[in-house]
C-alpha cells in the first residue's frame, strides 16, 4: 500500500477483526515468492503456486469461506470513499467465470456484496465476473465453491484506510456466516 504496509498486514488485521465476531480465521503466511523461486515458477504461475497452499488448507480444515485478499491497481480517487467521517478503501469482488464452481462463487460474492450495500452502498465497486481471452478466469476458485477474491483499495490507499474498511466488513461477514 501507499505507506509500505502489505496485503499480508491487512489479512492479519482482518483476522483480528473477524475473531471479534467469533469467526475463526486462518491466514496463509507462507512466502509464496520464495516457494515460486524454489520451484522455478514465474509471476504468471503465482495462482498455480498458491493453489498448493489452498489445497493444504482444504485437506486439513473445514472452511466456511475462503477470502483471497488483494489490492487493485486503480487511481486513488476511484479507490476511496468517506463513510462515518473516515476515509475507507472501496472494495471489489472478482469472480473467475471459467471453472465448474463459478456460479456458486458468483452467487456467494453477490450475496455478501448485497449485505455490504445494505449498510454502506458507496463502499462497494460491485462484483466483477472475469472470463474470456486475456483474463485468468479461475483465480483458484475452482478449488472450492465458497471462495471469493476481494480487492480492498489500491496501491494508492493507506493502511489506515484499509483498516477502516475492514472494521466495516468484519461484522457483515460474521453476520453472513452465522
Render pLDDT for 13-49 as a digit per residue (tens, 0 to 9).
999 999 999 999 999 998 888 999 999 999 989 999 9
Q: With 90 as the cut, is the pLDDT of residue 151 above it?
A: yes
In the beta sheet, which residues pair with residue 87?
82
| Averaged pLDDT for residues 106-128 | 98
- Cα–chain center distance at 157: 15
Here the cell at position 68 is 483471497
Q: How far apart are the first and last CA of the chain?
A: 31
Q: Which residue has the cell 465497486?
A: 125
**Whole-prediction pTM:** 0.93
Distances (CA, A) of 76 to 1, 107, 154, 158: 11, 29, 7, 10
pLDDT tens per residue, range 64-74: 999 999 999 99
Nearest-10 Cα torsion for 49, 50, 56, 60:
180
Query: Do the beta carbons of residue 153 and residue 1 sit within 8 Å?
Result: yes
Here the cell at position 98 is 471459467
d(CA 130, CA 151): 14
Nearest Cα residue to 139 out of 68, 42, 81: 68
| Averaged pLDDT for residues 78-89 | 97
d(CA 90, CA 157): 9
- The mean pLDDT of the chain is 95
Query: Do the beta carbons of residue 96 and residue 137 sit within 8 Å?
Result: yes
Amino acid at each position: 500500500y501507499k505507506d509500505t504496509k502489505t496485503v499480508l498486514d491487512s489479512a492479519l488485521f482482518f483476522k483480528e477483526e473477524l475473531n471479534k465476531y467469533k469467526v475463526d480465521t486462518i491466514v496463509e503466511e507462507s512466502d509464496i515468492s520464495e516457494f515460486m523461486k524454489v520451484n522455478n515458477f514465474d509471476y504468471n504461475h503465482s495462482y498455480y503456486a498458491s493453489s498448493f497452499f489452498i489445497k493444504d488448507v482444504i485437506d486439513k480444515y473445514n472452511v466456511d469461506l475462503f477470502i483471497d485478499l488483494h489490492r487493485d491497481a486503480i487511481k486513488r480517487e476511484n479507490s476511496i470513499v468517506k463513510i462515518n467521517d473516515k476515509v475507507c478503501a472501496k472494495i471489489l469482488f472478482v469472480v473467475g467465470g471459467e471453472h465448474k464452481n463459478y456460479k456458486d462463487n458468483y452467487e456467494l460474492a453477490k450475496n455478501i456484496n448485497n449485505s455490504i450495500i445494505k449498510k454502506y452502498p458507496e463502499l462497494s465497486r460491485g462484483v466483477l465476473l472475469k472470463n474470456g481471452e486475456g483474463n485468468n478466469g479461475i483465480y483458484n476458485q475452482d478449488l472450492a465453491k465458497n471462495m471469493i477474491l476481494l480487492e480492498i483499495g489500491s496501491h494508492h490507499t493507506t493502511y489506515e484506510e484499509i483498516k477502516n474498511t475492514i472494521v466495516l466488513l468484519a461484522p457483515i461477514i460474521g453476520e453472513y456466516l452465522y
